[in-house]
Amino acid sequence: MRRTIADRLGESYREAVHVTVDRRADAEELLAAADAADDALDADVSITDVLLLVLSASLDEHPEFNATFEDGVHRLHGEHNICVAVDIDEGLIAPVVRDVASLSLAELAETRAEVTQRALSGDFTMDDLSGGTFTVSNLGVLGVESFDPIINPPQVAILGVNTIRREAVPTDDGDVTVRRVISFSLSFDHRIVDGADAARMLGTLVEHVENPWSLVIAAGGR
């Protein structure tokens, strides 16, 4: 498995033109929405689940990132089959949560938990690892503040999720308040999408992260 991971990521690093852009977002509403959904729904909803929800909404607006690049073809995919990186003893794998946009928030939480558990227990199959159209790698749970994630080929982009920190933020009235802040690192293949495209994609993501309620309520009622 280590050899396969090394071969795939080495191929990605050699062939794709990797560029990473970073952006921060206020995390207070994201955390509140995850807590509210966890209380209201018959499922264990985590921040990761709400992040997958807002990421799917962002990919709707920027479909060029929900894509693969093979044999010179930039292929956009209708379904958001999002890979979630999982660290296991044998290496890093990325099982797929399929068709995220079609799932209710409870279904999303249950599906994500199931594929993650199969990965951790070693019960995953090649079907769990194939067909992804975008990848999320969360090193924030390990305290990482910024990193340059490597694209999972043949996908064209990957989102790194960094740690949530408390920061002093100036208010409009000249005062200072402490807010929880999260940052994201978006790596993309510059052969396929440009820096301005990535900046707009991150801008949309930040908007949804800071205002997730309409998405959470809609997905919670599916």
In the numeric block, which tokens belong to residue 137?
Answer: 């790698």
pLDDT at 2 over 90: no
How confident is the model over 73-87, as a mean pLDDT?
96
Q: How many domains does one find in the chain?
A: 1
Sort residue 99 into left (φ over 0), alpha (ψ -120 to 50) or beta: left
pLDDT at 78 over 90: yes
The larger pLDDT score, comparing residue 218 to residue 12, is at: 218
Task: Name the residue among 164, 165, 209 with its Cα closest to residue 29.
Answer: 209
* Phi, psi torsion values for 146, nearest 5 degrees: -170, 140
Q: State the pLDDT at residue 36.
A: 96
Q: State the pLDDT at residue 220.
A: 86
How confident is the model over 158-173, as a mean pLDDT?
93
Helix (H) or strand (E) holding 21: strand 18-26
| CA 67/CA 192 separation, integer angstroms | 10
Residue 1: which pLDDT band, with cuts at 50, 70 and 90? low
* DSSP code, position 64: G
| CA 152/CA 110 separation, integer angstroms | 24
CATH code of residue 87: 3.30.559.10
| CA 155/CA 130 separation, integer angstroms | 11
118 beta partners: none
Question: pLDDT tens digit string along 15-25?
Answer: 889 999 999 99
Q: State the pLDDT at residue 12.
A: 78
pLDDT at 166 over 90: yes
Domain that includes residue 150, residue range: 2-220
pLDDT at 76 over 90: yes
Q: State the pLDDT at residue 171.
A: 86
How confident is the model over 29-47, as a mean pLDDT?
96
Are residues 186 and 202 in contact, defined by beta-carbon separation less than 8 angstroms? yes
Question: pLDDT tens digit string along 88-124?
Answer: 887 789 999 999 999 999 999 999 999 999 999 989 9
66 residue type, one letter: N
Residue 167 Cα distances to 146, 191, 207, angstroms: 16, 36, 19
